[in-house]
Amino acid sequence: MIHIDGLKIDPLFYTFIEKEALPGSEVDSEAFWQGFSEIIHDLSPENGELLAVRNRMQEQINQWHSQWDWKQKREEYENFLKEIGYIEREKEPFSIGTEQVDREIASQAGPQLVVPVNNARYAINAANARWGSLYDALYGTNVIDEAEGAEKGSAYNPIRGRKVVDYAKSFLDEIIPLQNGSHKEVTQYSVKDGKLVASVINETTRLKDEQQFAGWQGERENPSSILLINHDLYIEIQMDKTHPVGKTDAAGVKDVVMESAITTIMDCEDSVAAVDAEDKVLVYRNWLGLMKGSLSSVFQKGEKEVTRNLNEDRSYLSPDGSELILPGRSLLLVRNVGHLMTSSMVLDQEDREVPEGIIDTVVTSLLAKHDLLRKGRTKNSAEGSVYIVKPKMHGSREAAFANTCFNRVEDLLGLKRFTLKIGVMDEERRTSLNLANCIFEVKERIVFINTGFLDRTGDEIHTSMLAGAMVRKNEMKGTVWLQGYEKSNVDTGLKCALPGRAQIGKGMWAMPDQMKEMMEQKRTHLEAGGNTAWVPSPTAATLHALHYHQLRVKDVQKELLQRVKDRQQEMLTLPLFEGSYTKADIQQELDNNVQGLLGYVVRWVEHGTGCSKVPDIHHVGLMEDRATLRISSQHLANWLEHGLCTKEQIMETLKRMAEVVDHQNSSDPLYQPMANDFERSIAFQAACDLIFDGKDQPGGYTEPILHRRRQEFKARTYAART
């Protein structure tokens, strides 16, 4: 370890900061380490106190439930939560005042992509997902059915291709209609006197709303691309009569390209497995590469070697003939870790591990300074802001603590006050119940609230662990608390005047391959007032973008503001199950939860993969991350606690499902089967810990066990090598 200013620093991390992060940041090395040390020593004690408050409140809640039946004493329960400070007194009405917010956040409604930042190939793909091919997104997913000879197959299928074109052009007719006829009938697009002209059968026509024509590329009479705009989002129709698809189209259209992932969250948190300096430096290095525009990735795809770089901005001629430059990349945010974990990468003067959340704020901000100084090849924030998403905060004191930390980091890095913006994840019950107060504490820097319903469900189960047995996992979506929480989040965001300055975001679509279902269901996020919602992949971003063309969220939000109401009672309706489940129901629930849990944990602990697509018992691939793991482990712990199943039954299920998961991974040469030796399999042991010790995990979080077991696995692997 390197000793500096009262800190002991892992050499890998030290070298990264000295050789890669500080050069070009206009921050002096000596001042940095001294300031870093001061921030750590000044703020760590409060970080510790905040965690102690969490534990104390949880103990009080546990005691209350051991004594009383919540169903008989709902009013007393609410009063008790107020008495212990769990429910805070709400501040007087106020409006947020965040300034210098990029338009992607302040005014454009559209999809928000999330990606594990330690995976450079995916991270670059995500940054580039600002624009996505609608033809590819439709062709490659179940949005287009395979009936009547339209199978995907291995080679291009023209029958499927026709269905794709038909879908895309029907969509164009819906949102950018022509005065006469359909986009399906167009034989030529051209530009005349700054207007879009479309030749349809024997006549020419124009757009119903001519303002929707935003620009073009190529020649006026025969443009290679036409740029259109609807609800602040761009769409490009691309033409090329020599292209395999373009040559079969009357107007030579080869693709319709959608402005897709307007913003992207580069995730250092729940989709990432980072347990030591080696892992964290990789996370930070990729974020630095994104901020400098230099990140690239070389990988093998099939037979081909692919090099992936960040896209350039896009250039068009606008209708008046002037140049129009549009961003080629998504606006990037970075999700830091929460207040819970500490890191062995930095030790304080008492040799204690330092809160990882503080390290993340300092380092991700330092790295983003390269973007603020505009030294790189690309630019992220045109407004000169840094966007940090802060997860898993409990109540307003924790939000105030984040604000203090951000102030200190701005001072350290020589940044103007409120350069560092914050996105507040509403994903713990104490934050949901006190959301206005949380927003108040960061009201000059807040750029989003977002319902992280997955963590929030885990917290719902954990907080009320002793109140009774919970409904089945899939029934959670329909429960009163969850509906109330989603609505309350929007109501609070509207009351605090977020629109125009900050996003009101909705949660993740966790079935990456079920795009037809997403198209049917995710529009409700807009109807509920969300001006952004999370998607797991670039393809999902392109498809979800269609919803924002169909609905103007600004109008929805105006309407909803008239109907704001207090939803505390709904949020305090615990999701306890009533009636009875059959033995078969119970076993099916156990099988499903255990399979997902094992499938995820084995890759986390033994492969260092923080986000995986894991098949459920119906063979539907589900996005699993630490938040979904928190749900399944807490759910199993809850049913065990209330006697719906026995420890032996869970153990039997674990062993049976381990074989299923081993089989699912059998084609991976690096995979070590769990069922060969349950005692020796660190992943299997981690799964057991998560369930059998689940009740006692702080907040029901999975991080402490995952980190410990991954470190154990790494140590074993290194020992075997040397």
E strands present in 443-494: 446-451
Instruction: Establish whether 276 is a catalytic residue.
Output: no
The total of other beta-carbon atoms located within 10 Å of residue 687's CB is: 32
Angle (CA) 301-302-308 rounded to 5° is 15
Q: Which of 291, 282, 266, 262 lies closest to 114 in space, CA to CA? A: 266
Q: With CB under 6 A as the contact rule, which of the stretches 24-32, 316-324, 456-464, 611-619 interacts with ligand ACO?
A: 611-619
Q: Which is nearer to Mg ion, 132 or 452 (CB)?
A: 452
H or E segment to which residue 698 belongs: none
What's the DSSP call for residue 411? H
* C-beta of 230 vs 633, nearer to Mg ion: 633
536 is an annotated ligand-binding site residue: yes
Q: How many residues bind ligand ACO (CB under 6 A)?
A: 25
Cα–Cα nearest to 626, from 680, 574, 699 = 699
453 assigned ligand-binding residue: yes
Closer of 197 and 482 to ligand ACO (Cβ): 482
- Give catalytic status of residue 335 as yes or no: yes
Considering only residues 275 to 304 of the shown chain, the ones binding ligand ACO according to CB under 6 A are: 301
**Rounded least distance, CB 623 to ligand ACO, Å:** 4
Does 553 contact Mg ion by CB under 5 A?
no
The residue range among 82-90, 117-125, 354-362, 629-637 that interacts with ligand ACO, by the rule CB under 6 A, is 117-125
Element (H, E) at 574: none
117 is in an annotated binding site: no
In the complex with ligand O=CC(=O)O, the residue whose CB is nearer, 178 or 508, is: 508
Find the helix or strand (DSSP H, E) in which 425 lies: strand 420-426
- Beta carbons within 10 angstroms of residue 97's beta carbon: 12
- CA quadruple 32, 36, 42, 44: dihedral, nearest 10: 170
Amino acid at 548: Y
CA-CA distance, 696 to 693, in Å (whole number)? 6
The answer to whether 336 and 316 are in contact (CB under 8 A) is no
Of the residues 454, 560, 683, 690, which one makes contact with ligand O=CC(=O)O according to CB under 6 A: 454
Which of 223, 218, 191 is CA-nearest to residue 207? 191
Among 8, 73, 91, 121, binds ligand ACO (CB under 6 A): 121
Q: By CB under 6 A, name the one of 427, 486, 513, 570 that touches ligand O=CC(=O)O.
A: 427
The item of ligand O=CC(=O)O, Mg ion, ligand ACO, none sharing an interface with residue 267, based on CB under 5 to 8 Å by kind, is: ligand ACO
Q: Give the position of tokens 């050499």.
A: 11
Contact range with ligand ACO by CB under 6 A, out of 67-75, 264-272, 365-373, 489-497: 264-272
Select from 218-226, 233-241, 450-458, 681-689 the region that touches ligand O=CC(=O)O (CB under 6 A).
450-458
> Known binder of ligand: residue 36?
no
Query: Which residues from 484-513 bind ligand O=CC(=O)O, rule CB under 6 A?
Result: 507-508
- Alpha-carbon distance 341 to 270, whole Å? 12
What is the token pair recorded at 284? 């930070």
The DSSP secondary structure of 271-290, one letter per residue, reads: T----SHHHHHHHHHHHHHH
Structure tokens at 502: 């900050």
| Smallest distance from ligand ACO to CB 650, Å | 24
- Report the partner that residue 125 touches, choosing among ligand O=CC(=O)O, Mg ion, ligand ACO, none (CB closer than 5 to 8 A by kind): ligand ACO
Contact assessment for residue 513 and residue 621, using Cβ atoms and an 8 Å cutoff? yes
Q: Which is catalytic among the residues 625, 630, 709, 710? A: 625
Contact region with ligand O=CC(=O)O (CB under 6 A), list: 147-155, 203-211, 346-354, 446-454: 446-454
Give dist(CA 65, CA 15) in Å, integer.
Answer: 51
The CA–CA distances, whole Å, from 83 to 53, 60, 78, 460 equal: 14, 11, 9, 20
Catalytic residue, from 285, 329, 335, 408: name it.
Answer: 335
The answer to whether residue 452 forms part of the interface with Mg ion (CB under 5 A) is yes
Instruction: Pick one of 270, 410, 570, 703: the residue that binds ligand ACO (CB under 6 A).
Output: 270
Closest CA to 654 of 587, 583, 701: 587
Binding mask 487-506 for Mg ion (x = CB under 5 A): --------------------
d(CA 498, CA 502): 5
**Residue 606 interacting partner from ligand ACO, Mg ion, ligand O=CC(=O)O, none (CB closer than 5 to 8 Å by kind):** none
Give the whole-angstrom CA distance, residue 19 versus residue 23. 7
Interaction between residue 703 and ligand ACO (CB under 6 A)? no
Beta bridge partner(s), residue 299 = 306
Task: Collapse the DSSP code of 674 into the 3-class scheme (helix H, G, I; strand E, B; otherwise coil) and give the result.
Answer: coil
User: Which one of residues 293, 319, 395, 538 is an interface residue with ligand ACO (CB under 6 A)?
Assistant: 538
Is 507 one of the binding residues for Mg ion (CB under 5 A)?
no
Phi, psi torsion values for 674, nearest 5 degrees:
-75, -35
CB of 592 to Mg ion, least distance (A): 21
User: Residue 121, annotated ligand binder?
Assistant: yes
Q: Which residues are catalytic?
A: 335, 625
Which chain residues interact with ligand ACO by CB under 6 A?
A: 113-116, 121-122, 125-126, 267, 270-271, 301, 452, 454, 508, 512, 536-538, 611-613, 623, 625, 627
- Residues belonging to the binding site for Mg(2+) are 427, 455
Which chain residues interact with ligand O=CC(=O)O by CB under 6 A?
A: 270, 425, 427, 452-455, 507-508, 627
- Residues belonging to the binding site for glyoxylate are 335, 427, 452-455
